[in-house]
Amino acid sequence: MPFLELTVACRQSEQPRYERALEDVGALAVTLLDADADSGNERAILEPGVGQTPLWGAIALSALFPHDADALALLAALEAFDPALDWSRAGFRSVADQDWERAWMDRYEPLQFGARTWIVPWNRALPEAADSPAAAVVRLDPGLAFGSGTHPTTALCLRWLDDLAAAGRLQGADVLDYGCGSGILALAALKLGAAHAVAVDNDPQALLATHDNAQRNGVGAQLTAFLPDDAPATTYPVVVANILASALDALAATLAARVVPGGRLALSGILAGQQDALLARYGAWFDALAVAQDGDWVRIDGIRNDRPVHG
């Protein structure tokens, strides 16, 4: 039976709060590891006794959820349960007694977004509709990094990019993909006509997956990837950020400062009901803000005005 595994690091003093949050959102099991142990020498406590806590200073918590759990919805629920905890470095992977990742890829079908954009796994033939010069095809092996096009937050962004391309706003443009995951949005932008893409993520694994996917799609020379602190402080005509609402709120000034006046911004990873606060926050710097919804998730997009960013 496959499971979705969430792993997050925390301080020993915060461990009970993290564990309570994970149990509250339905974790089937929680494992604690010494995050400072040398590789291969980790010491695990599967279920500490009542009143017992590890003595380690840094802890890695590993929680198992049903395989069909929605990773972004879990993160949103965890943030809502205890907003003071930091879930930004949480990682996900599928675990099972079989190679679940490969089995999932065997069932993953080609997907179309908008008029031209196609996401096609490596092990699938191109659909007839995608086998044309006009199609923008991204061949993807998501690996352990989030971003396959199947989640509504990603789909909303892909359709937005496809619409931008149809309006002629991607041709020859530089694009910033903030929270890149597998690099799917940066790759789609390049396939739709962008000249260069900058991908940013706080997970080094995501940057490796993005680089690998860019090389396999023949656009490696057009894409650069950075950790947030290393990303260039420049501006772009197109910026897309597919992260969680709390991060979008915290990064509002940073993201606004990355969009040129007249440039386009799309924000996703927002649960329905969370958009009003973000609309108010970004309204200081963006005009014509619009909301699109797919299931329980929404996207906000707008046009950068010329008001300066002060934070």
Provide the 10 A C-beta neighbour count for residue 56: 18
Strand ranges for the chain from DSSP E: 3-11, 29-34, 44-45, 58-66, 91-95, 111-113, 117-121, 136-140, 174-178, 196-200, 223-226, 236-242, 259-271, 286-294, 297-304
Higher-confidence residue of 305 and 111: namely 305
Asked whether the predicted pLDDT for residue 78 surpasses 80, the reply is yes
Give the pLDDT band (50/70/90) at residue 52.
very low
Question: Which of 64-73, 139-148, 155-164 has the weakest average pLDDT?
Answer: 139-148
- pLDDT at res. 196: 98
Long-range contacts of the stretch 121-124 (C-beta < 8 A, 24+)? 122/216
pLDDT at residue 145, as a whole number = 43
Residues annotated in the binding site, as ranges?
A: 154, 179, 201, 242
pLDDT at 24: 87
d(CA 7, CA 75): 12
Give the pLDDT score at 104.
47
Q: Which of 27, 90, 95, 12 is nearest to 64 (CA)?
A: 27
Averaged confidence pLDDT in the chain: 84
More confident residue, 100 or 299: 299
Reply yes or no on whether the pLDDT at 99 is more than 60: no
Calculate the alpha carbon distances from 305 to 167, 247, 262, 309 in Å: 19, 22, 6, 10
Sequence-distant (6+) residues with CB within 8 A of 42 are 33, 34, 60
Please report, for the chain, the start and end positions of each structural domain, with discontinuous segments joined by +: 3-97, 151-304
pTM above 0.75, yes or no: no
pLDDT value, residue 238: 98
Q: Can you state the percent helix, strand and coil of the chain, rounding each to 5?
A: 30, 30, 40
Are 223 and 214 in contact by the 8 Å Cβ rule? The answer is: yes
Interval 135-158 mean pLDDT: 76
pLDDT score recorded for residue 202 = 86
Q: Which of 189, 310, 180, 198 is nearest to 257 (CA)?
A: 310
- Amino acid identity, position 129: A
| Per-residue confidence (pLDDT) for residue 67, from 0 to 100 | 85
User: Given this structure, which CATH class describes domain 3-97?
Assistant: alpha beta
CA distances from 2 to 11, 65, 97, 100 (A): 29, 9, 7, 7
What is the dotted CATH code of the domain comprising 151-304? Answer: 3.40.50.150
Tens digit of each residue's pLDDT (9 = 90 or more) over 232-244? 999 999 999 998 8
Amino acid at 205: Q
pLDDT, one tens digit per residue, over 158-203 is: 999 999 999 999 999 999 999 998 899 999 999 999 999 999 998 8
Average pLDDT of span 118-137:
89
Where is average pLDDT lowest: 194-198, 226-230, 255-259, 269-273? Answer: 269-273
DSSP assignment, residue 293?
Answer: E
Which pLDDT value is given to residue 171?
Answer: 97
Q: Does position 280 have pLDDT exceeding 90, yes or no?
A: yes
- Mention every residue, 6+ apart, whose C-beta is less than 8 A from residue 176: 197, 198, 200, 236, 238, 239, 240, 258
Query: Among 34-48, 67-81, 98-112, 291-305, where is mean pLDDT lowest?
Result: 34-48
Question: What Rg, from alpha-carbon coordinates, does the chain have?
Answer: 20
**Rounded Cα gap, residues 287 and 276, in angstroms:** 15
% of the chain surpassing 70 pLDDT: 84
Average pLDDT over residues 276-304: 96
Quick check: 102 pLDDT over 70? Answer: no
Binding-site residues for S-adenosyl-L-methionine: 154, 179, 201, 242
What DSSP string describes 229-240?
GGS----EEEEE
pLDDT of residue 161: 98
199: tokens are 């991908």
Considering the chain, what percentage of its residues have pLDDT values greater than 90?
A: 54
Range scoring the smallest mean pLDDT among 30-39, 40-49, 157-166, 240-249? 40-49
CA count, 13 A, side-chain hemisphere, 116: 19
- Residue 148 has a pLDDT of 62
